[in-house]
Amino acid sequence: MPSSKLASLGEAVELVEDGASITISGITFSRNPMAFIAALVKAGRRDLYFIDREPGLGLDVLAAAGALRGVRAAMATFELYGLMPTLRRLVEEGRVEFLEDTCGAVIAGLRAAAYGLGFMPVRGVLGSQLVELHERAGTWRVIRDPFTGEEVVAVKAIEPDVAVVHAHYCDEYGNCVIEGPRYEDELKIRAARRVIITAEQIVESDALRRLPHTLSSTSVHVDAVVHAPGGAWPTAMYGLYPADYDAIREYRDYAREGRAREWIEGRLLSRWGW
């Protein structure tokens, strides 16, 4: 029998050390684990290395809180709301290092870690200048397929220290279900060293007995389970609530004026009793 992993936000945040590499669930303005991000800001985490395919709001909030030393992402965007208001400036000022990746290669790197391998080859990519960046960083290498001789890019395993995933429901052991778009969250859960699930709802394990689908995470993957209803706000939660675009635009306007911190404290941290 697995043990109960139920924890408060404050307890779970202790699993993330200063300097850790971290990946989060969702995409730009959907299913970001904003409650946990609030906890990271409250705890004053520093020097985190952020890894994701196509992050948005959660990433910029961490950047604005001064929590980041580096970012590796295929695209970091506020979509129609423009460039990342804070991260963009920090990268331009050389205060946060940015390693641009590409979607298929991020997936390949996470797959390598999840499959227990040191690297994963990926098609495409060759011919882009991204190859030079990653060969220099030691994250990719151009190799030959040992069977066909074809040139392919080998992506070194991406094994984040921590994955934080906001899910629809979860039992106390970490058996969780994400509904709607998964993005790479189920892969991140399998690739990371530690996994924190924040969930809209905590359910009895018995409620999952007749679940006809695969679990997004199992108790074996998960280190902490946090009950965080509304925990993706202001990003969207499939089937439960849409993105709060007014709040996101408000954040952007604050951040562009260099006042992101005010918004984070007044609007996000306050929501979680801080």
Q: Closer to other proteins by CB, 101 or 172: give it.
A: 101
**Contact with other proteins (CB under 8 A): which of 228, 236, 255, 264?**
236
Do the beta carbons of residue 106 and residue 140 sit within 8 Å? no
Q: Which of residues 191-210 bind other proteins (CB under 8 A)?
A: none
Q: Encoding tokens for residue 146?
A: 């040992």
Q: Does 126 bind other proteins (CB under 8 A)?
A: yes
Q: Closer to other proteins by CB, 206 or 246: give it.
A: 246
Q: Does 46 bind other proteins (CB under 8 A)?
A: no
Q: Does 129 bind other proteins (CB under 8 A)?
A: yes
Q: Encoding tokens for residue 143?
A: 């190799």
Q: Which of residues 133-162 bind other proteins (CB under 8 A)?
A: 133
For 41-79, give one letter per residue: b (16+ CB within 10 A) or e: bbbebeebbbbbbbbbbbbbbbbbbbbbbebbbbbbbbe
Q: Does 103 bind other proteins (CB under 8 A)?
A: yes
> How far apart, in whole angstroms, are the C-alpha atoms of residue 22 and residue 193?
10
**Contact with other proteins (CB under 8 A): which of 248, 260, 264, 268?**
248
Angle between helices 34-43 and 57-64 (to 10 degrees): 10
For 152-179, give one letter per residue: b (16+ CB within 10 A) or e: bbbbbbbbbbbbbbbbbbbbbbbbbbbb
**Contact with other proteins (CB under 8 A): which of 52, 159, 172, 184?**
184
Q: Encoding tokens for residue 31?
A: 């299913």
The residues binding other proteins (CB under 8 A) are 27-30, 53-54, 56, 73-77, 79-81, 83-84, 87-88, 91-92, 94, 98, 100-105, 107, 122-130, 133, 180-184, 187, 235-236, 238-239, 242-243, 245, 248-249
